[in-house]
Amino acid sequence: MDEDTNMTEMEGMETSADMIMPLPLTEEQIDNLTEENYTTEVSDVNFSGEQDNDMGRAIFPGNPFFPGNNRPNTNITIIPIIPGVTRFSYIRFLNANPSQTPIDIYVNGRKVASYLNYRAFTEYMKAFPGYYRIVVFKAGTRRNPISVSQINVIANRIYTAAFIDTGVNNEWQMITDNTRILNQNRAFVRFIQLSYTAPLMDVYIDNRLVLSDLDFQEVSRYLSLAPGRRNVKLKVATTNRTILEDPNMYLRAGNSYSVYIVGDSNSRMGLQVLIPLEGTSYLSF
């Protein structure tokens, strides 16, 4: 892709330069990252490629963004986002960690979320397939990271990256939406248990048992329900004691939802449920 001619052609078109998420790395490149790059844009780091100092963009050999595409010179890192052609995914971040709030999130050295409070989601962001390093800091700081980890984003998926406490460490749980064709007369809902202190639980909707023995970090199957207002109860699987109830879960036809169970059952805050609309309900590729 010739830079001079295509910069004009891309006017009015969405490109990677418009994205909040940075460009991905290869597995080898991400393994070579050092601590000095935690809050430094990876595009400023010279791996095996040459640096385009005038434009401030790194040029890497090969093109991981258009697999099978034989366009000439497509290794320039400004990538046009063409619906139905460009391979990308969506990702949002959830702070589901009650012991770490608020937080700043850096991806490949770029800050993508500031002061993300417990129970808060970011908006969905487009991300190209590849590897990313995610570094979490206490909000407003850039030293002594809370968590350093790596993820691999696959094309044409919708992710929620949930920051959780496992009781041993802090980590990201990658949760993928099912991009099914939605039934315009039904609503879909699933349950995701992200509290390590919560007991094994059964899930009831309108006093009907729909899921048994939901465990920590488990993502349930989708349930197909008639739209409308529903009562959700979570009960201890071994004693049938109700530990959480939400009588106002409203489901709209043609949409898909996830019920995230978060919190600390051993503290005064207890457990909470978050019921956001899934991206599969309204995002497109």
Classify residue 15 as exposed, middle or buried by CB count within 10 Å of its CB (0-12, 13-18, 19+).
middle
* 89, pLDDT greater than 90: yes
pLDDT score for 180: 78
Note the pTM of the prediction, 2 decimals.
Answer: 0.85
How many residues are given for the chain?
A: 285
pLDDT score for 269: 85
Q: What is the pLDDT of residues 126-145, one digit of tens each?
A: 999 999 999 999 999 999 99
The predicted model gives 227-233 an average pLDDT of 97
Tokens of 4: 């001079």
pLDDT exceeding 90 applies to what percent of the chain? 72
